[in-house]
A = this chain, B = another copy of it.
């Protein structure tokens, strides 16, 4: 049995790791840490995780005995513990933004935090970086918006088809975390749509990093909070450099994703739905339409807490452990 620890397990991503890992046949959870809830049984925070026997502990890094450690810690906090964890010989999958950037200056600009180490990390999007992840000691699990945005647009930039991409994303409220705030106050969300950080969300820089690589494409991003618990619906509006047909467009996606277990391409006229991926690690990609102005419309649906966070982290864990990549992740979405 592979031993797994979760640092900072009292948030939603911690809860999701527990939900899925406790039914994963190849691992056992040895430690769940929390400063705030030291000594508290897990079900007091995650009321669905009952009779697990797990209790939050405020452990020091050197007290942790694990093969893989998930750091579900806030941005800026991960970099304070990850180097020490790596020294114990464990591999780390970090769910914060701390290790996602190839250029640390970009991180520092967008997160407003001075980076304190120079560790090598791999961007943990297996559909693009699977081979690099296999060899990594430190995997930077991607952000939720970037996961939906990158996967829905990647074939466009890889094949140099478009010169501008506008990502218009709609996210469920669980993306804001387990802590209450005016933003997540029910009457402010229900029956509302809340655009926010409309030209300056930090995930734009992460999307740009991954989509820029290929060419000089302009990438813009605007997120919206919608009255949904889980899920990110991404609408990607892109502008063709040269005319192609909708059929050709689809072929680029089929070629790119044909062997990917977690990516499902919708039939013609079929729309990806959040409910279809709810609670699951699947990505549904659809759209494949081009309007008369040369605009490509691509759509994706993910569960922000699963493929957008903890499920993808487990997918990375499976790769690091050399077991089946979809182990513990095969369950379908919870529709309706």
Contact = CB atoms under 8 A, between A and B. Distances in A.
A278 interface: yes
Interface stretch (A62-70, A90-98, A117-125, A165-173): A165-173
Contact of A227 (B228, B264, B278, B332): B228
A295 B182 contact: no
Interface stretch (A15-23, A250-258, A314-322): A15-23
A180 B187 CA distance: 9
Contacts of A231: 191-193
A335 B47 contact: yes
Interface in A27-72: 46-51
Contact of A186 (B190, B276, B334): B190
A334 B331 contact: no
Given A237-B222, A336-B174, A192 B50 contact: no
A230 B191 contact: yes
A157 interface: no
B182 A235 contact: no
Contacts of A293: 164, 218-220
B193 A228 contact: yes
A89 to B, nearest CB: 31
Contacts of A271: 194-196, 198
Nearest to A330: B23
A333 interface: yes
A159 interface: no
A287 B168 CA distance: 14
Interface of A: 12, 15, 19, 22-23, 46-51, 164, 166, 168, 170, 172-174, 178-196, 198-200, 218-220, 222, 224, 226-231, 233, 235, 237, 239, 264, 270-271, 273-280, 282, 287, 289-291, 293-295, 297, 299, 330-336
